């Protein structure tokens, strides 16, 4: 017998609790959002599918946190609570504090947006230390964390989100909230609440590829050349330009059959004091969607297969890696792109490239347009450097046609090109601080996030040290 649908009787779902602010997703954006709201003396619950916080840092192993630069007037481009948390994680990781003072100093001159790697500076952190720091910050702020729980669908009253159904070992429960923040990365709650969204590039909906990051032990990090404006001094032709020729040769010999990447992207020490344990960013899983369960499952399997190829490649071709061994494959694959929830304003690639300014700016961005090859093998990514920072408007955090909800992180409202810049961790954290602060002001002002006067939001963010631009 073929069964296409199973109809269940209506079930009564218990209400677990009612809070002021509910944050769905405990990644970089969600954690900052929860802390911002909790510091305003509100009751806050954060729901996280894994057993720890940190999102792409701790689940996917993104240990190099970038996007740090200075504004046109010389002040740090991203500061406030984001700077506070990153400082704490960086220092807990046992790193030299001098790098922090250099990155977050006040500059007297206009910066060059060609400095650092890909036009910005990077801080290496230990994902395990990130877990510890975020636990401590949540506990101190009074944020209630629900681990191993999935936010599955919004609870609606008309077009307003008034809570979310969550699934966990306790079964299905409802958490009611005055404001909900969707920091799921994929925009799950906003989309299911009826907000419109786009996926991938306009021509065919294909997203940027995913990456399975891994750790190798007993590896001396190769001297990979990152300055694309200068000639790589590496004399070995196979090692030149991040092993581009070696990758092509391995593919020709049938040693790389799954990974379409054209270069060995990054091999970086996990700890400053121990260079033998390295984070490797090499794999690229194309043409898979993170919002399709079958495709995501297949992407995870293919990512692990690419890791096996990658370790073998490093042992044969990469200097200092002959005896390298696989130490860790992170539990989740790194997702660059999925849903972009359409908001009251769609930030565009032209906005990013032109350094657009907005009166309702809540954060500043600078990361390059970093567009990884979506469907070709052996073709390089497109990297478009910026000449000045750009504003991220509050309206891009407001899902179109839905009330009582904000977005934060990579699922905010933008086009395919703009996402290539604002998806980076530091920028996502900045939108999280804005969303959490907006939620707090909305609750305390008895208004919806859309009704909130953005000038009050900008003033509150500035008071807490965040850079929202000078409009």
Q: pLDDT tens for residues 328-382?
A: 999 999 999 999 999 999 999 999 999 999 999 999 999 999 999 999 999 999 9
Length of the chain: 471
CATH number at residue 139: 3.50.50.60
Contact yes or no for 143/45 (Cβ under 8 A): yes
Does residue 449 lie in a domain region? yes
Q: Tell me how far apart the alpha carbons of residues 161 and 29 are, in angstroms, rounded to a whole number.
A: 20
Task: Specify whether 255 is located in the same domain as 303.
Answer: yes
Quick one: average pLDDT of 194-212?
A: 97
Q: Tell me how far apart the alpha carbons of residues 280 and 453 are, in angstroms, rounded to a whole number.
A: 45
Quick one: average pLDDT of 384-401?
A: 97
Task: Specify whether 43 is located in the same domain as 173.
Answer: yes
Burial (CB count within 10 angstroms: exposed 0-12, middle 13-18, buried 19+), residue 248: middle
Which residue blocks in 154-239 are alpha helix, DSSP H?
A: 188-192
267 phi, psi to nearest 5 deg: -135, 105
Task: Specify whether 104 is located in the same domain as 136.
Answer: yes
Helices then strands, counting H and E runs in the chain, come out as 12, 19
Residue 226 has a pLDDT of 78
Give the residue from 145, 142, 61, 75 showing the smallest Cα distance to 103. 75
Task: Specify whether 274 is located in the same domain as 360.
Answer: no
Contact yes or no for 132/31 (Cβ under 8 A): no
Q: Tell me how far apart the alpha carbons of residues 393 and 36 are, in angstroms, rounded to a whole number.
A: 18
Least confident window among 66-80, 218-232, 311-325, 453-467: 218-232
Residue 254 has a pLDDT of 98
Q: Tell me how far apart the alpha carbons of residues 115 and 335 are, in angstroms, rounded to a whole number.
A: 26
Task: Specify whether 435 is located in the same domain as 409.
Answer: yes
Does the structure show a pLDDT above 70 at 471?
A: no
Task: Specify whether 24 is located in the same domain as 169.
Answer: yes
Task: Specify whether 145 is located in the same domain as 20.
Answer: yes
Give the number of other Cβ atoms within 10 Å of residue 377's Cβ: 14
- Across the chain, what does the average pLDDT equal? 95
pLDDT tens by residue, 132-159: 999 999 999 999 999 999 999 999 999 9
Residue 9 has a pLDDT of 61
Does residue 377 lie in a domain region? no
Quick one: average pLDDT of 105-115?
A: 91
Does residue 256 lie in a domain region? yes
Quick one: average pLDDT of 312-325?
A: 96
Q: Tell me how far apart the alpha carbons of residues 435 and 135 are, in angstroms, rounded to a whole number.
A: 20
pLDDT tens by residue, 38-71: 999 999 999 999 999 999 999 999 999 999 999 9
Does residue 62 lie in a domain region? yes
Quick one: average pLDDT of 93-98?
A: 94
Does the structure show a pLDDT above 60 at 1?
A: no
Strands (E), 312-399: 325-329, 339-341, 361-365, 369-371, 382-384, 390-393
Quick one: average pLDDT of 61-89?
A: 96
Task: Specify whether 189 is located in the same domain as 254.
Answer: no
Task: Specify whether 321 is located in the same domain as 341.
Answer: no
Contact yes or no for 83/465 (Cβ under 8 A): yes
Task: Specify whether 72 is located in the same domain as 128.
Answer: yes
Does residue 128 lie in a domain region? yes
Does the structure show a pLDDT above 90 at 83?
A: yes
Strands (E), 330-419: 339-341, 361-365, 369-371, 382-384, 390-393, 405-407
pLDDT tens by residue, 227-244: 766 788 889 999 999 999
Does residue 6 lie in a domain region? no
Task: Specify whether 227 is located in the same domain as 316.
Answer: yes
Residue 19 has a pLDDT of 98
Per residue in 415-425, is it b (16+ CB within 10 Å) or e — as a string?
bbbbbbbbbbb
* CA-based end-to-end distance of the chain: 65
Domain count for the chain, please give it. Answer: 2
Does the structure show a pLDDT above 70 at 430?
A: yes
| Domain of residue 291, residue span | 214-329
Task: Specify whether 193 is located in the same domain as 225.
Answer: no
Does residue 380 lie in a domain region? no
- 34: which 2 tokens? 């929860």
Does residue 416 lie in a domain region? yes
């Amino acid at each position: 017998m073929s069964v296409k649908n199973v109809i269940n009787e209506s079930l009564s779902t218990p209400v677990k609790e009612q809070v002021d602010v509910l944050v769905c997703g405990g990644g970089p954006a969600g954690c900052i959002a929860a802390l911002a709201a909790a510091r305003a003396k509100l009751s806050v619950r954060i729901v996280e599918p894994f057993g720890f916080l940190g999102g792409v840092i701790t689940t996917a192993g993104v240990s190099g946190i970038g996007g740090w630069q200075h504004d046109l007037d010389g002040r740090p481009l991203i500061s406030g609570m984001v700077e506070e948390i990153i400082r704490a994680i960086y220092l807990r990781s046992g790193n030299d504090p001098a790098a922090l003072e250099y990155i977050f100093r006040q500059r007297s001159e206009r910066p060059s947006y060609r400095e650092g790697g890909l036009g910005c500076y990077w801080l290496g952190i230990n994902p395990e230390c990130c877990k510890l720091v975020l636990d401590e910050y949540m506990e101190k702020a009074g944020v209630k964390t629900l681990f191993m729980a999935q936010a599955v669908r919004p609870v609606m009253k008309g077009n307003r989100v008034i809570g979310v159904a969550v699934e966990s070992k306790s079964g299905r429960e409802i958490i009611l909230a005055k404001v909900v923040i969707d920091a799921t990365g994929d925009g799950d709650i906003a989309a299911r609440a009826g907000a419109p969204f786009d996926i991938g590039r306009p021509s065919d909906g294909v997203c940027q590829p995913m990456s399975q990051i891994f750790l190798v032990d007993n590896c001396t990090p190769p001297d990979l050349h990152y300055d694309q404006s200068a000639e790589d001094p590496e004399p070995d032709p196979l090692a030149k330009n991040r092993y581009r020729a070696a990758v092509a040769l391995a593919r020709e010999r049938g040693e790389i059959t799954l990974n379409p990447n054209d270069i060995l992207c990054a091999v970086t020490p996990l700890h400053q004091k121990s260079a033998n344990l390295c984070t490797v960013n090499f794999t690229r899983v194309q043409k898979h969607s993170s919002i399709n369960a079958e495709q995501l499952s297949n992407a995870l399997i293919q990512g692990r297969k690419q890791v096996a190829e990658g370790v073998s490649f490093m042992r044969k071709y990469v200097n200092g890696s002959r005896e390298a061994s696989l130490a860790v494959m992170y539990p989740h694959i790194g997702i660059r792109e999925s849903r972009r929830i359409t908001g009251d304003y769609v930030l565009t690639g032209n906005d990013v490239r032109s350094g657009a300014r907005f009166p309702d700016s809540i954060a500043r961005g600078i990361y390059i347009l970093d567009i990884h090859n979506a469907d070709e093998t052996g073709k390089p990514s497109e990297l478009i450097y910026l000449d000045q920072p750009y504003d991220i408007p509050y309206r891009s955090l407001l899902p179109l046609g839905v009330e009582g909800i904000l977005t934060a992180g990579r699922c905010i409202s933008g086009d395919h090109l703009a996402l290539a810049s604002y998806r980076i961790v530091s920028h996502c954290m900045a939108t999280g601080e804005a969303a959490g602060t907006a939620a707090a002001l909305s609750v305390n002002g008895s208004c919806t996030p859309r009704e909130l006067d953005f000038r009050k939001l900008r003033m509150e963010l500035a008071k807490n040290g965040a850079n929202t631009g000078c409009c």
